[in-house]
Structure 1
């Protein structure tokens, strides 16, 4: 699908879009499809079904208002969204990641939500954790609502950890604290169980980029600096070596995509899976299924292999296009939908994502969610890159070049040089 340049979309302020005043509003989201949406939000599980049940319950509660969820594919979501903006038909409300905010709000196509707007539908921004408030703020202006903090975790097969002798005396998993210790644990796992130590999507989506970034941050580095973006650093090379050492020793398979790496973990063929908060409730349900080899499932925050704790993190946020403001009734209904989603923050947190409302974070019902205590440390080590209009494109370049290292044998020197050239060409 063609990628549209957002700078050209600022003309959308004068769009002649057909927004229904009070009968139907459109919503764009990813999170996958829910084939059988539960009638009650409390009965839903997994990202797709929880969010769709929340959306459907809004339509049920607001007599005469229907929310039409537009079909979108996760992998092409932003291309599809840009195409909708370019064609003058963006959804009235849509989800996006925090790191995309500068790209869209920076060219004026997202509606600023004022204090009066929030108050008019009962949203209290002061109830949001500071990191969540920051997620919807750009240059002092606020756009929409935050829905979560999500981050990479280590998902663990405790049966394999026990078989490999990688348990502490109290029964907790013994996790590596240095790259050398990671290699030693991986070697022990292979020798004792015949299984891979670690799996992740290193061949499709940018899970490898996010893992490498975390290891760069753990060393006190950052690809973003005063001069722009610099990818060829000692910290980047060290991070890449951590991963390629695992691949070279056959302790991890770099050829697995997202679905394959997840299946390897569920099938008991990998002791660790690097994946996000969004799959916690799904894996918990899988572990409870007698037909699934994964049995004893636990979670750990991303271990610190260098000097500083760090893991990749982001936020899902909900926004409204600027053009919607041209129809006050549709804008009001769109704000009401944001408030509805905000009020269901505890329901969304059942996925495994971390809540953004202080009132929810302090709620005993939230604190009692499965496995929550196992990754409390994640909120303290969650990191992300600074706001950048080009972050999505930069991530794509890094994903392509890192995969070229472990999938095609491209040298680290050439991959980093090509990445630097392509990133500078984006400016």
Structure 2
């Protein structure tokens, strides 16, 4: 009898596995081979998101999730190619600024009428989160976070330079002139750079310049008109190049090298995003890592008004999947699971999108959260544009030409203005 029971159980398990609906999921965030399914124990973007996905695959009855990780730098090229070939993932991550590009072509499913039945409460999303996934009256994704550029601070170097106030917080600059003065103080006191960032690879430098332009009430385009070649852009770029020219920052650092310089205690400030807060917190607790006294600060106001670059990650479903009812419903169930685990994703350092999470004690208790509580109020982004990706590429190329090859600022801005205007005219 025991063998009959075991045989029946095995047959049931095999039947369930064979009939499980596979959901393919495309994402960036990096690879994590040993994430497991404990969504509260993983550390870092790659492992936290993979643990959530693994848990979804393990816990959602009749659904398995097959992750298709890709490199961040090539992600959109691969997703666009997958759509063109008729084989997009059943679910894929998307930035807010890319919604007009994909939804504008009809590539994304409008989820508006199906979210409630899937167990996703749109009313629990913060208004800005709902706005992030909305386009022309439809809802084209499930938001996962708000993320923004922060100033990550080595408090030991700042203390050596006398840039810590009586409350123990870092003293940050309030003007380009003060930025240069603080940089001088750090280098003279410690021999280290004042500021590090990825100026040579991904568009971190673009986001930094955008923040400084927004602080002056300017932007890079207005509707279909490029507005790059102006004094606000010159002021913003000059604020950075003066650091390079004085030897207080290295424009040749890429993403990995700038991060390592900060962890090695070779820079007092690292400009990077919310996504690394929990990783740097863990690194600072490691006795073998030179960074020991870590602080997270809002992006400082160097001009007239507070502003920092910000965006949102969300999960979208291809419109083509709606023809497969079973596949579409399975994808919605995975999105509901990820939405339910918003607090786990927020452990990265990203800002949560659900009001119930934002107001919870668990969220308030996350490390360093109070130090950059003002970031949400100064978060900014460019206007929606179907050509944002190409515009960002132009700006990244021209800015890198300024600080890596010595291209004159006026010439670079004129070239960027012409190229972006051509993109907006298409």
TM class, shorter-length:
over 0.9
Tell me if 1:245 matches 2:228. no
| Of 61, 65, 68, the match for 1:67 | 65
Tell me if 1:305 matches 2:302. yes
1:175-208 superposed Cα distances (whole Å, 9 cap, x missing partner): 1111111111001111111110000000000000
Partner of 1:3: none
**1:152–1:313 Cα contact (<8 Å) kept:** yes
Tell me if 1:151 matches 2:148. yes
Alpha-carbon separation, structure 2, partners of 1:259 and 1:73: 14
Partner of 2:331: 334
Tell me if 1:34 matches 2:32. yes
| Of 392, 406, 410, the match for 1:409 | 406
How many angstroms does 1:22 deviate by?
4.5
1:243-273 superposed Cα distances (whole Å, 9 cap, x missing partner): 0001000010000000000000000000000
Partner of 1:9: none
**2:224–2:421 Cα contact (<8 Å) kept:** no
List gaps (5 residues or longer) in structure 1.
1-19
1:12-411 matches, cutoff 5 A: 22-115=20-113, 117-411=114-408
How many angstroms does 1:35 deviate by?
2.2
CA RMSD in angstroms comes to 1.1
**1:164–1:189 Cα contact (<8 Å) kept:** yes
Alpha-carbon separation, structure 2, partners of 1:71 and 1:234: 41
Alpha-carbon separation, structure 1, partners of 2:370 and 2:237: 30
List gaps (5 residues or longer) in structure 2.
1-17
How many angstroms does 1:39 deviate by?
3.1
Alpha-carbon separation, structure 1, partners of 2:235 and 2:254: 23
1:112-168 superposed Cα distances (whole Å, 9 cap, x missing partner): 0123x0111111111011110000001111112100000000000000000001111
Matched position secondary structure for 2:25: strand
Alpha-carbon separation, structure 1, partners of 2:222 and 2:318: 31
Matched position secondary structure for 1:298: strand
Matched position secondary structure for 1:41: coil
How many angstroms does 1:225 deviate by?
1.7
Aligned residues: 407
**1:22–1:333 Cα contact (<8 Å) kept:** no
Alpha-carbon separation, structure 1, partners of 2:363 and 2:408: 47
1:8-33 superposed Cα distances (whole Å, 9 cap, x missing partner): xxxxxxxxxxxx98521100000000
**2:20–2:62 Cα contact (<8 Å) kept:** yes
**1:224–1:230 Cα contact (<8 Å) kept:** yes
**2:115–2:122 Cα contact (<8 Å) kept:** yes
Matched position secondary structure for 1:317: strand
1:51-95 superposed Cα distances (whole Å, 9 cap, x missing partner): 111111111112332111113111100000011111110000000
Alpha-carbon separation, structure 1, partners of 2:288 and 2:71: 29
Partner of 1:10: none
**1:22–1:329 Cα contact (<8 Å) kept:** no
**1:59–1:67 Cα contact (<8 Å) kept:** yes
**2:19–2:62 Cα contact (<8 Å) kept:** no
Deviates more, 1:219-228 or 1:333-342: 219-228
Deviates more, 1:261-270 or 1:45-54: 45-54
Matched position secondary structure for 2:328: helix
Matched position secondary structure for 2:106: coil
Deviates more, 1:30-39 or 1:314-323: 30-39
